[in-house]
Amino acid sequence: MKNKITTILFDLDGTLIDTNELIITTYLHTLEKYYPSKYQREDVLPFLGPTLHEAFGSINPDLVEEMVLEYRAFNIANHDELVTEFAGVFETVQSLKDKGYKLGIVTTKRHDVTLKGLRLMDLERFFEVVVTYDHVSKTKPDPEPIFKALEQLESSPEETMMVGDNYHDILAGKNAGTVTAGCAWSIKGRDYIAKYEPDYILENMADLLTILGE
């Protein structure tokens, strides 16, 4: 690694917290209401990552707002029951914080739901900056959310690593000029994240400590 990494930005869903089951269940619930018996589990996997408006807009642009409201209501109601933790995340993030790294979240989720997830897993205290859907005009893979986080952290892209489980995390990092790390535990599989050529692939979040020489 050419530059010393001082700053690490994380995606939230599927990276720090396991919201996969919640998201899939919520999409299936919402789509079942509008298109009974049409969508199966594998049909909604491509929707993990993009914003709700992008996902529902690809199905029916006229019903986007209505479907987003339905999605959010169900998602919030079932959030704490269906969200779980990934092995190694809490300990790794705590260790990075203790070692003085600047930590931030960059997600396409809304701010209120992001905080709900962070608090549920007791992760909120480790992050100085949280940039969400509400804070930007363009979401990942556009670099805007990363630049916004770095501005608040007073860090440069060269000293930053973007960690995520989805293509738009890796592309956002590349577009912003950061080092990138993909999560092999992406619900779409290791090969999926590998094809976007992140600088590193993490088999477990603890791999970050090894990569950073900690």
Region 80-99 average pLDDT: 96
pLDDT at 67: 98
**pLDDT class of 1 with cuts at 50, 70, 90:** low
Rounded Cα distance between 134 and 112, Å, is: 9
Nearest to 92 by CA among 35, 15, 190: 15
Q: Is the pLDDT of residue 50 over 90?
A: no
Catalytically active residues, by annotation: 11
DSSP secondary structure string for all residues of 153-208 = HT--GGGEEEEESSHHHHHHHHHHT-EEEEETT-TT-HHHHHTT--SEEESSTTHH
- Say if residue 185's pLDDT is above 90: yes
Q: Which CATH number fits domain 20-82: 3.30.70, 1.10.1060, 1.20.120, 1.10.150?
A: 1.10.150
pLDDT above 90: percentage of residues in the chain: 95
Quick one: average pLDDT of 117-132?
97
Rounded to two decimals, the pTM is 0.91
- Domains of the chain, by residue range, sit at 7-18+84-211, 20-82
Mean pLDDT score of the chain, rounded to an integer?
A: 96
Domain spanning 7-18+84-211, CATH architecture: 3-Layer(aba) Sandwich (3.40)
Q: How far apart are CA 163 and CA 174, in angstroms?
A: 11
